[in-house]
Amino acid sequence: MPDVQSMVAEFVNKLRKRKIEGSQATAKCTVELLRSVISHQRVPHANQAAALIDAVKAVGQQLVAANPVELAVGNVVRRVLHIIREEDLSLTTAAMAGLDLLDASDDDDIDNCKGIGYPAMSAAVVAAAARSTLRPPSLQTLLEGTPESATVPYTSSSGADSESKSKSADKSSLTRKLKHDVIEGVNQLIHEISGCHEQIAEQAIEHIHQNEVILTLGSSRTVLEFLCAAKEKKRSFRVFVAEGAPRYQGHLLAKELVARGLQTTVITDSAVFAMISRVNMVIIGAHAVMANGGVIGPVGVNMAALAAKKHAVPFVVLAGSHKLCPLYPHNPEVLLNELRSPSELLDFGEFSDCLDFGAGSGSLQVVNPTFDYVPPNLVSLFITDTGGHNPSYMYRLIADYYSADDLVM
Amino acid sequence: MESRRNPRAVVDPKVRQVGFFTSSQPDSSSTQQQTEPISASASASSPPVSTISPSGNSLSPVMIPPPRLNSSDTFPLRNAAAGATSAVSPSSFSYSNRRDFPDGSTTASPGRHSRGSFVKSSAPVASSLPGIGMDSMAAAKSSSVPASGLTTVSVVTMPPGLAENASGMEVQSDQKKNSKSLKEKTTKAERRAIQEAQRAAKAAAKADGGKVPPGTSASLASTSVKVAKPAKPSTQKNEVAVSAGVTEKKGGPSEKDRKKDAPHPRMQYDDESRVVKAKRRAVVKQTEAKNRVELFRHLPQYEHGTQLPDLEAKFFQLDPMHPAVYKVGLQYLSGDISGGNARCIAMLQAFQDVIKDYSTPPEKNLNRDMTSKISSYVSFLIECRPLSISMGNAIRFVKNRIAKLPITLSESEAKAALQSDIERFINDKIIGADMVIVKHAVTKIRDGDVLLTYGSPTAVEMILLHAHELKKKFRVLVVDSRPKLEGQLLLRRLIKRGISCTYTHINAISYIMHEVTKVFLGASSVLSNGTVYSRVGTACVAMVASAFRVPVLLCCEAYKFHERVQLDSICSNELGDPNAISKVHGREDINYLDGLTNNANLQFLNLMYDATPSDYISMIITDYGMVPPTSVPVIVREYQKEHLLV
């Protein structure tokens, strides 16, 4: 237990000091941490799911507080909570089904569930009805679901209620099962996060045609993989990279692109408007995608999006599913932003005497934000690891990944 | 053009006063000059064809051309106008004759012939011009002769006019044939080559010289001999002008004319043969950058830093170049002088020095020789750095003044006149204009305003400082961009004056736009479709501002307006040093691209300007007041003449 505590503390520290950059890396670290939290969590005999959820929530709150701007942390915590709830639910329903069925077949059933995940279940009807109401009802449930709907109240509220039900199925195998299944699910999530680049890159060929001119901005590994995937399929196209002052991540991206043999042109950020008229598509990697379809991306993205809109150039956002945030943004330019050091913009020595350090003495302020918010009406397309989506569809996509109970942690 | 202008001048000269017209009362010499160029153009192309000429759009917007009195291209009417002018002019007879004389020089002033020096020779040539009438119309119009006077005079002068026309027709057709055959025989490139050769020859030729220019032009000259014997070289030149479709100098210069005066700023660098040719002429030996952006092949891009040491070494041995010009050129090259106004003033002051030290070589004509000198200096300056549009306008002004120097002036007088003209241009059109702009713009700044500016526009800086002196309370957001980071200089100056500032890079513009109440921008030029040609990034700022519903006020002196139109930032632009992008000044940690600069897959694009669409601009503050972008073409058309006259 203490080692988990120290791990959490260490990670919180890292987040606070902004040592971890990039939402994918952060997401991965978070899941791995949560996995060890879950595996070290001693599960009480009764009410195991609630215990797990509480533990994960507690850690999650610490992590989110450490870096509230890194939305991927919150997203991943919610995903893990969702996994716990799902597994718990499937076990409960399986147990219920097992009660109805023969005891002998019970074990097989649960093995089934574990192997394939949740889709194939013996008590499919019950499970479907019991799952979060966000799930689209199938015709079958609509037809047969009326008598079963009575079960929804107590199963959907998971934890305590379902526990009372499953008490009857107090086999020791079942208690181990939940933790085991949750860890399986978390592993799957890790796999999904680390594989999201490939998933997205696979679609590149459908979006990039021969001789295309693509503008990108900032340094995103997703974009890099996306472009390289198209290049590997023998598409030839050129890429304009805005350098992204003051962090100059564009330089980094350009270097990688050139190393992979792509025709790359580095432009200044100010030339984005001038060049956009000759660009066929703007592709950027998102920092986070909000539930309304708005995008938080590297600073300067909004400018590029406006210019693209003006010239009717498609503005495509690449985002792994861990970047989908279930929150609706309010004033995201300010509230979900982060101001970096002025030293990136100005030589400290030259201007230090006139800088305003909050005491009101100086007359100079320096603004150096990290992120930019693009409203959904400027985005043409999202490409996630599950395919391409409209901005207006994002809320629905998000509903698949998170359960409504966890939106507020 | 003639037919349209014709009735206007004769029938209602007063309509001209309506609308956007500032009273410019040209002196008699300018009227005379105005008449002259037409003779060249008219003789070149038949009158009906010439309606296409751009000078046709000098029609005022508020005016509907009145119905014609009689069939418009009958000669009497034109002659009437001709008569009118001659009546107005003090020396009516010699004047009308002179007018007909085809002018010898392409660039130099028409005025120099006017004072009777050519009267004797002009008689036979005089007939060649059916088009005089038009010109003289313009003259009549500008001197605003009362209509009644016109009619009476026209009656008197009609007969000689008719006679002139009769013979003129013949000559004209002859010439037309010549030019036509020339056109057929030669390709465009060849014609241009011919033209260039002739121009060179002309520069060498004396004003009265009977020398036949060498090369291709010889045949031309021979054909023209029978038309106008006494003025052999000059007629030949006329034809050259015709073949190029260029009407030579006119008092109130036609658009085409103006374009010609201003050195063509846009050589297309993807045209190999022309690049080679230009290189041969070049004083500055530039190494072309190898790794270039495909889209911008038509723009020059050189390896920066390669020319400067070479040029500096040559500083003391370069006789054809005036040291003042040389110095300015080097300053352009090294970037010591930048900013539209600074560059323009530096150039004009160098020209003043040139004029001060100028002495007409023996057997040469001041107007012509000086024009060609200026042209050569200008091409040197272009080699150092492509001209800005405002500089093109200033050069056009200088050349115009030189061309219009009355022939009667002695050399010292002429020099003094030119110097004071240039001085006046600097004071009125640049410095004075800025003061007017400041006066206008300051009224738009209120207490509590948050003003955003981009880069380091001089006009805006003056406005901010003035508003601060007026004790207005406001905050300034200075937005900057790589690679020049001019905003830091502005920031330093503003802070020194005690103005509270916020500094950021252009990427963060959407972050700070929420708090902004007004955006003040500068411009390198405003084009006549309202497009603002300015420091790269201005378009981004204006776009974001208009997306956030923040008014964008653009400050630009009217001498920077230009009748050119442009839709994008690609066709015409300037490329800066690509290495400035790969290296981030003051940030040693950013070195990702070191060692990749020669990679064939990697290019750096350092654009200098961009074109802001007019719909992002709320208002343009200029020395003529505060106008919407849609008024730019009006100002360009109505005031350009005045610019040239000052």
Contacts of A364 in chain B (CB under 8 A): 491, 495, 500-503
Locate A1 and state its tokens: 């237990």
The verdict on A101 touching B (C-beta cutoff 8 Å) is no
When mean pLDDT is compared over B184-188, B233-237, B529-533, the highest value belongs to: B529-533
Residue A20 confidence (pLDDT): 83
Closest by Cβ to B605, choosing from A251, A262, A271: A271
Quick: pLDDT tens for B381-433: 888 888 888 898 899 888 888 888 888 888 888 889 889 989 999 998 899 99
Could you tell me which of A320, A284, A76 has the C-alpha nearest to residue A197? A320
Residues B179-201: what's their mean pLDDT?
Answer: 58
Question: B47-59, pLDDT tens digit by residue?
Answer: 444 334 444 344 4
pLDDT for res B189: 60
Residue B630 has pLDDT above 70, yes or no: yes
Q: Among the ranges B75-79, B379-383, B465-469, B589-593, which has the highest mean pLDDT value?
A: B465-469
pLDDT recorded at residue B441: 93
Q: What SS3 class is residue B273?
A: helix
Distance of CA A260 to the CA centre of its chain: 28
Mutate to test the interface with B, among A236, A273, A278, A378 (most CBs of B within 10 A): A273
pLDDT of residue B59: 42
Q: Name the packing angle between helices B188-204 and B232-243 (round to 10°).
A: 150
Would you call B511 and A278 a contact, using CB atoms and an 8 Å cutoff? no
Q: DSSP per residue over B443-496, as a string?
A: TT--TTEEEEEES--HHHHHHHHHHHHTT--EEEEEEE-TTT-HHHHHHHHHHH
Rounded Cα distance between B248 and B242, Å, is 9
How far apart are the C-alpha atoms of A7 and A36, rounded to whole Å?
Answer: 9
What ipTM does the predicted assembly reach?
0.82
Is A384 strand, coil or helix? Answer: strand
Average pLDDT over every residue of A316-337: 89
Q: With an 8 Å Cβ cutoff, is A335 touching chain B?
A: no
* Residue B273 or B97, more confident: B273
**pLDDT exceeds cutoff 60 at B125:** no
pLDDT at B373: 87
Q: What is the pLDDT of residues B543-595, one digit of tens each?
A: 999 999 999 999 999 999 988 899 988 888 888 888 888 888 777 778 888 87
User: Who wins on pLDDT, A158 or A344?
Assistant: A344
For residue B124, pLDDT over 70 is answered with no
Q: Closest-CA residue in chain B for A310?
A: B543
**pLDDT at position B167, please?**
46
The answer on pLDDT for B276 being more than 70 is yes
Q: What pLDDT, on a 0 to 100 scale, did the predictor assign at position B432?
A: 93
Chain B residues in contact with A368 (beta carbon < 8 A): 504-505, 508
Residue A4 pLDDT: 85
| Mean of the per-residue pLDDT values of chain A | 81
Residue B505, pLDDT > 90, answer yes
Measured CA distances, B122 to A72, B29, B99, B220, B229 (Å): 88, 19, 9, 20, 10
Using an 8 Å CB-CB cutoff, list chain A residues near B544. 302-303, 306
Q: Are A273 and B498 within 8 A, CB to CB?
A: no
What percentage of residues in chain B have a pLDDT greater than 90?
23
Yes or no: say if A286 and A296 are a contact pair by the CB < 8 Å rule: yes
pLDDT band at A360 (very low <50, low <70, confident <90, very high): low
Residue B570 per-residue DSSP state: S
User: B349 or A157: whose pLDDT is higher?
Assistant: B349
Report angle CA A302, A383, A191 to the nearest 5 degrees: 120
In this prediction, residue A122 carries a pLDDT of: 45
Chain B closest CA to A16's CA: distance in Å? 23
